[in-house]
């Protein structure tokens, strides 16, 4: 897995969706852009080599809303999400897209629950870890919408 700490020049959701879809196809991998809304696209097409226009038209892509603005105000929340994704994909190597989506949805829900209780970034950090643990045990995810 490659992680690149690139910050988007545009915060327009439609631009982000387009870039994530294009990059996933170019790199033939699952690509995630995080932020207020997470955008995830599957460029693996189940390992298919030659893609048709129909394949591209029906590319799997989702967005996940929710979370909490405090997630963006602590350092390492993006890096740590990378680790959660890696764990999920390692446990589900046949389904890298779904494993990535599940990890991002779990992470956002944990952030949302912690953010509702925290009084600032300091308390948010430990509350977030606790909620991440609870959500992963109970299977609690943020809502996932198809794109």
Stretch that binds ligand ATP, among 34-42, 54-62, 88-96, 133-141 (CB under 6 A): 34-42
Query: What is the contact mask toward ligand Cc1ncsc1CCO in residues 2 to 31, using x (rule: CB under 6 A)?
Result: ---x--------------------------
Q: Do the Cβ atoms of 84 and 107 come closer than 8 Å?
A: yes
* Residue 57, burial from CB neighbour count under 10 angstroms (0-12, 13-18, 19+): exposed
- CB nearer to ligand Cc1ncsc1CCO: give 35 or 78: 78
- Contact status: 76 vs ligand ATP (CB under 6 A): yes
Question: Judged by CB under 6 A, which of 7, 47, 75, 93 binds ligand Cc1ncsc1CCO?
Answer: 75
Q: In what order do the strands lie in the sheet with 61-64?
A: 30-33, 38-42, 61-64, 144-146
Q: Could you give the C-alpha distances from 46 to 43, 82, 118, in angstroms and in order?
A: 9, 21, 41
Question: Judged by CB under 6 A, which of 81, 113, 127, 135 binds ligand ATP?
Answer: 81
Distance (Å, rounded) from C-alpha 57 to C-alpha 90? 28
Distance (Å, rounded) from C-alpha 19 to C-alpha 125? 30
Binding positions for ligand ATP, rule: CB under 6 A: 5, 34-36, 38, 67-69, 71-72, 75-79, 81, 107-108, 111
Q: Which residues bind ligand Cc1ncsc1CCO (CB under 6 A)?
A: 5, 75-76, 78-79
């Amino acid at each position: 897995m490659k992680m690149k700490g690139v910050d988007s020049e545009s915060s327009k959701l439609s631009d982000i969706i387009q870039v994530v879809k294009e990059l996933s196809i170019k790199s033939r991998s699952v690509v995630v852009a995080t932020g207020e809304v997470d955008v995830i696209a599957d460029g693996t097409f189940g390992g298919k080599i030659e893609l048709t226009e129909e394949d591209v038209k029906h590319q799997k892509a989702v967005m996940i809303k929710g979370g909490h603005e405090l997630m963006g105000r602590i350092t390492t929340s993006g890096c740590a999400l990378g680790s959660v994704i890696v764990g999920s994909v390692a446990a589900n190597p046949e389904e890298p897209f779904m494993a990535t989506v599940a990890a991002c949805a779990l992470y956002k829900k944990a952030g949302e629950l912690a953010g509702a209780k925290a009084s600032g970034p300091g308390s948010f950090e430990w509350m977030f870890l606790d909620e991440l643990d609870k959500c992963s045990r109970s299977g609690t995810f943020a809502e996932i919408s198809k794109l």
